Structure 1
Amino acid sequence: MKIVQYNVLDGCREKEGYSRLSNFLKNGDYDVAGFNELNDWTAEEFQVEMEKVGFKYTYLFEMDSSRFLIGIAAKFPISKISAIEKPPFHHGMLHVKIKDINFIITHLTPFESKFRELEAESLATYIETIKEPLVVMGDLNTLSPFDKAYYDIEKISASKFQNRQHIRNGAINFRPMQILLDAGLLDVNMSEKLDYSMPTKIKGELKDPSYVRIDYILVNPILQQRNPVAKIIHHQDVSTLSDHYPIECKWEELTEKL
């Protein structure tokens, strides 16, 4: 199976940008696509447009609490398990099942990391009872301890927004991601260098940018048996499409292992 997760920036509704997004999805030939920031979309529009790029089935979580909607599209039937928008989730959490795999899509708060700790704890509690293959994906707005060697605390602290987002008690706060890892989730994007998902080139070439990886596809040990491998896509065709780069993941189907 081949999947992609993408924060498309405020819905990507502008005609030229959406045309490029459509081409990216068509060319990627994905089985499943998860999205953050489907702003101003309706479920009907989402279904129609995703069918055009090869996804027969869709689910859009039309939240009341946030305009930053999350959704999923697939070539296979989607069964909704739950859709949660109550606190502590800032932009909601969507749980669906496709084939034999549970997919959870979320978009954690972009503000203080102490609030992401609460979201991560709620997510960790939620997945405790899932004893089937599981993928957790989305813009998690948090840094991973696996990337610790690549981050410069002085550079992060110098950015007003990144300081608010990632610094707590004078240090980079990796705890939100650590909570998810301690809950048994596995990070399958283990590049030998920082496989950053921000910034892109949507605002042009930046001088000495602070690169971060905040978009993830995580799996549980059951799905890990299918040898998933994830990577951030830095192709030119997505470098100015959003302020995030997409992340894709591939794994073996069960029949391939028999």
Structure 2
Amino acid sequence: MKKTFKILSFLLLCSLFAPDVAAQEKKTFKLISYNVYWGMRQDSTENKSKFAEWIRQQDPDIIALQEMNGFTAQNPEFAPKGSNPNNLQKLAESYGHPYVYIVREPAPDGSISFPVAITSKYPIVNVTRTVENASHGFITAEIEGFHFVVTHFHPFSSEKRGYEIDQILATVKSKPAGWKWLLMGDLNSVSPLDRSEYDNNLLRDFIREDRKKRPHNKNLGKDDELDYTIQQRILDFGFVDAFKMFYPQFVPSAPTKLFYDQSKHPLRYDYLYVSKNMQKDVVKCEIIKDDFTDVYSDHYPVMLIFKK
């Protein structure tokens, strides 16, 4: 009897001090990066409720947004007179994200700047907004110990995209070593990891032909061929293309069933990169294609799940 009591006492102590296995499981985060096309132009619902409903179904922890034309993160009463902007704060709160940042507010003269934005379930801290030397700007921010870069590169100049990526990589390099980084957005450039898809020259020839109608289309490299150097710089820096970890074969992020004026041929311009020290934290990455994303924008969103 005494022996049995000792055994039971020992087991009780073990249960009291044993680590909670569930608590020890690593927390996961879901991130979506989405070029929503000209401030969600396709969505005429009040406060973009159609978009909010889709986001609630997806339930991401963080969203990186591009082309947020006509949105303000401020109280609309402080917006430029006559601009009548959509309220990003109100929209984000409707899908459970109380924290928002946009790279720039609507301009008083009504000019379009295609700003990027980020919303989150968790506090967004240590934020910097950069609009100089960046066509659509970029945001750097920290969420739950991870460091994010949200951007949207120049749509018609390979040269300007080079300046943009150099500035972003220099920014990352200037920060303490060991930080975990995520770089995302519509980067308007092709990856050497997709080179075999573009070897048929259909995309190159489309750009050459399009240049006759739009002389400002300078998307080809100096040799008048597709320019892989932008994405190559990112890879050489040490970033990992998270999507390629799961889909080594080519999967396009544009065009959607709506349209895409940059090309009628499939291409991948939307990326989610992680720093090499985050590679083991990546759980899943995919391009989301469904009835909603088929027609909401001219780009498909990219989703990443990673653990802490």
TM (norm. structure 1) is: 0.89
Match of 1:182 in 2: 236
Report SS of the residue matched to 1:249. Answer: strand
The answer to whether the aligner puts 1:215 opposite 2:215 as a matched pair is no
Match of 1:56 in 2: 98
Match of 2:131 in 1: 85
Match of 2:38 in 1: 10
One-letter code aligned to 1:177:
Q
The answer to whether the aligner puts 1:118 opposite 2:158 as a matched pair is no
| Structure 1: 4+ residue segments shifted above 4 A | 63-66
Q: Distance in 1 between matches of 2:210 and 2:224?
A: 15
Report the Cα offset of residue 152 of structure 1: 3.9
Match of 2:251 in 1: 195
Q: Distance in 1 between matches of 2:112 and 2:50?
A: 26
5+ residue gaps, structure 1, are: 254-258
RMSD: 2.3
The answer to whether the aligner puts 1:158 opposite 2:205 as a matched pair is yes
User: How big is each residue's C-alpha offset from its partner over 1:36-84, in whole Å with a ceiling of 9 and x where there is no partner?
Assistant: 0110111131111100011111111215696211110000001143111
Report SS of the residue matched to 1:229. Answer: strand
The answer to whether the aligner puts 1:173 opposite 2:240 as a matched pair is no
Q: Distance in 2 between matches of 1:150 and 1:56?
A: 41
Q: Distance in 1 between matches of 2:200 and 2:132?
A: 33
The answer to whether the aligner puts 1:245 opposite 2:300 as a matched pair is yes
One-letter code aligned to 2:57:
N
Confirm or deny: 8 A CA contact 1:227 1:252 kept in the other structure. Answer: yes
Confirm or deny: 8 A CA contact 2:103 2:130 kept in the other structure. Answer: no
The answer to whether the aligner puts 1:23 opposite 2:53 as a matched pair is yes
Q: Distance in 2 between matches of 1:55 and 1:170?
A: 44
One-letter code aligned to 2:243:
N
Confirm or deny: 8 A CA contact 1:136 1:218 kept in the other structure. Answer: yes
One-letter code aligned to 1:110:
P
Match of 2:77 in 1: none
Confirm or deny: 8 A CA contact 1:20 1:241 kept in the other structure. Answer: no
Report SS of the residue matched to 1:251. Answer: strand
| Residue number among 124, 132, 141 corresponding to 2:188 in the alignment | 141
5+ residue gaps, structure 2, are: 1-28, 75-86, 212-216
Confirm or deny: 8 A CA contact 2:282 2:304 kept in the other structure. Answer: no
Q: Distance in 2 between matches of 1:161 and 1:31?
A: 39
Q: Distance in 1 between matches of 2:259 and 2:140?
A: 33
Report the Cα offset of residue 169 of structure 1: 0.6
Q: Distance in 1 between matches of 2:161 and 2:200?
A: 19
Q: Distance in 2 between matches of 1:80 and 1:201?
A: 38
User: How big is each residue's C-alpha offset from its partner over 1:160-188, in whole Å with a ceiling of 9 and x where there is no partner?
Assistant: 34873245413211000111111111101
TM (norm. structure 2) is: 0.76
| Residue number among 82, 93, 96 corresponding to 2:141 in the alignment | 96
Which structure has the bigger radius of gyration? 2
Q: Distance in 1 between matches of 2:112 and 2:200?
A: 31
Q: Distance in 2 between matches of 1:166 and 1:135?
A: 27
Report the Cα offset of residue 113 of structure 1: 1.2
Calculate percent identity across the aligned residue pairs: 27
Q: Distance in 2 between matches of 1:11 and 1:66?
A: 10
Report the Cα offset of residue 227 of structure 1: 2.5
| Residue number among 226, 229, 236 corresponding to 2:291 in the alignment | 236
Q: Distance in 2 between matches of 1:97 and 1:77?
A: 8
Q: Distance in 2 between matches of 1:174 and 1:193?
A: 17
Distance 1:121-1:161 versus aligned 2 partners, 3 A rule? farther
Report the Cα offset of residue 133 of structure 1: 1.0
